[in-house]
Every structure is written in structure tokens, then in C-alpha cells.
Amino acid sequence: MPAPPRPITFLSDYGTTDEFVGVCHGVMARIAPGVEIVDLAHELPRHDVRAGALMLRRALPYMPPGVHLAVVDPEVGTKRRAIALRTADEDRILVGPDNGLLALAAQRFGGAIDAVDVSRSVHRLDPVSATFHGRDIFAPVAAALAAGAELLDAGDPIDADEITLLHMPMAMVEPEGLVAHAVAFDRFGNITLDVEHQELADSGLRLGRPVTINDQPAHYTVTFSDVGAGELLLYEDAYRTLAVAVNRGSARDALTVGLDDEIIVRPA
């Protein structure tokens, strides 16, 4: 008896107003009947590759190993590669455009050990639209791989070390304090910093103690209600990444910061 298809996770910036997500689901269901498809998100800001990459990195450790389809593709129809890769840890397969979208998730799982260019894959639909590779290349390739097709037969082999990386700012511990950066914002105005739990050891920050954030008074706390309404706080979010919030308010507005702006945190 053939093995059941591996689960597929699906992330895109397609939104849900149009039929794009549903059509991709239909393509995958025809190729891999019975496939379980987990929709991570489809309301990403249009063309925001980095937001998609960060979301993949955060979410995939909570997903079962399988095939992870991601489509945020502002360069669709150009010479950018369409790729599928296998990670070192947990044997996960990532499918999407080679524009940095897959890079952070691949790093989270030990890096890519095999990769193929699927632009001319035997699994693609024919003819291929110039503007809807999600339907014609990425979804059918993801479904075929979920159904048991071999990765190295799905496209033309490429050097796994040559996939496009995503260049991010890097936090540093400086004499003036922890110099971090605003790498993402959520709908509440909370600010994700480029600092993970294991990087806090040398920062001098201690849970429960007062801090300053860009010279504004704050507390390093566990959760929002540890400070009063309208007060600024530093906390570790659900992914153990350092973040800044205002209880019942917007840290983004309170600090007036944009993407990649410096956030300097000091013990008070």
C-alpha cells in the first residue's frame, strides 16, 4: 500500500478575496488526493519577501515535517529561479521562488542539503503562465513531492549553497547597550527585534528589571499586563524572540520607528 501523502503547508501574499489560493489548493488536491494542506497565512503585505521569510522561520518548527510551499514572488516571470530544497534537520522540503523567501526557514532546519531548479519540472502544468507560477509550477511540484516524488527528479540540480540568502540587520551588544533593529511589526504595533533568547546572555538585561528603550522608560517583563495600560515593555514573544510592546497601545507609534530602525535597550 502506498504511503499517504506528506502534509503541505502553504503561505502566500495572494490574499483570500480572489480565487488564487483556492485554485492552488485544487491543483494540489488533483495531484495528491487526500493531501492535508495547512494554510499558514495569505494576507502578507504584497511582495514583502522578508515578512514571508520571517513568518516561515517562526511557524515551521510547529508544523509537522513535510512539504512547505511559499509564494511571495514580486519577480514572477523574470529570470529568478523556482526552487525546491531539502533541509538537513527533519527532512523538510521547501518549495518557492529563489528570492530569499525560503532562506531563513532553511537555516532554522540546518541549512539546505539538496536543491533543484523546478522551473522546467516534469511536474509543472503546461502551458505555464508568465504571472501565476504558484498555480503552474510551485503548487504542482509541492503536491508531487508530497505524494512521494523524488526531489532530485523534480528539477535540475543546483548547488544548495547558492540559493539566494536574505540579508538582515544584526543586533550587537555595544557599550551604549543592546543595539537591535525593528525587523517586523504585527497588527497591534508590537515590534519584533533581531534578538533571540540565546543571544541575551551578554546583554546585561534581567527579567523583571527596568530598562530604557530608545531612552524611554520601560520594563523587561513576561507579559503585557505586567505593566500599566499605555506603558512600554520589553518581552520575549511566543517564539522566544525579543519584542517591544505598549500595553493596550502601539509600540511602533510610541517609538516612531520604521523597518530596520535601531532600537537601543539599556538596563535602567
The domains located in the chain, with CATH, are 8-162 (3.40.50.10790), 172-267 (2.40.30.90)
Rounded to whole angstroms, the Cα distance separating 220 from 240 reads 14
Rounded average pLDDT over 92-108:
97
Q: What is the pLDDT of residue 196?
A: 84
Lowest mean pLDDT among 27-41, 89-103, 144-158, 187-201: 187-201
Rounded average pLDDT over 21-25:
98
Three-state secondary-structure class, residue 199: helix
Rounded average pLDDT over 29-42:
96
Rounded average pLDDT over 55-76:
96
As a whole number, the mean pLDDT across the chain is 94
The secondary structure of 128-159 as a DSSP string is PPSS-HIIIIIHHHHHHHHTT--GGGSSEEE-
The cell numbers describing 134, all together, are 504558484
Q: What is the pLDDT of residue 148?
A: 96
Rounded average pLDDT over 173-188:
91
Q: What is the pLDDT of residue 1?
A: 57
Lowest mean pLDDT among 174-183, 219-228, 244-253: 174-183
Q: What percent of the chain has pLDDT over 70?
A: 99
**Backbone φ, ψ for residue 68 (5° rounding):** -120, 105
The cell numbers describing 244, all together, are 517591544
Q: Is the pLDDT of residue 61 over 60?
A: yes
Q: What is the pLDDT of residue 204?
A: 81
Q: What is the pLDDT of residue 188?
A: 95
Q: What is the pLDDT of residue 208?
A: 93
Q: What is the pLDDT of residue 2?
A: 66
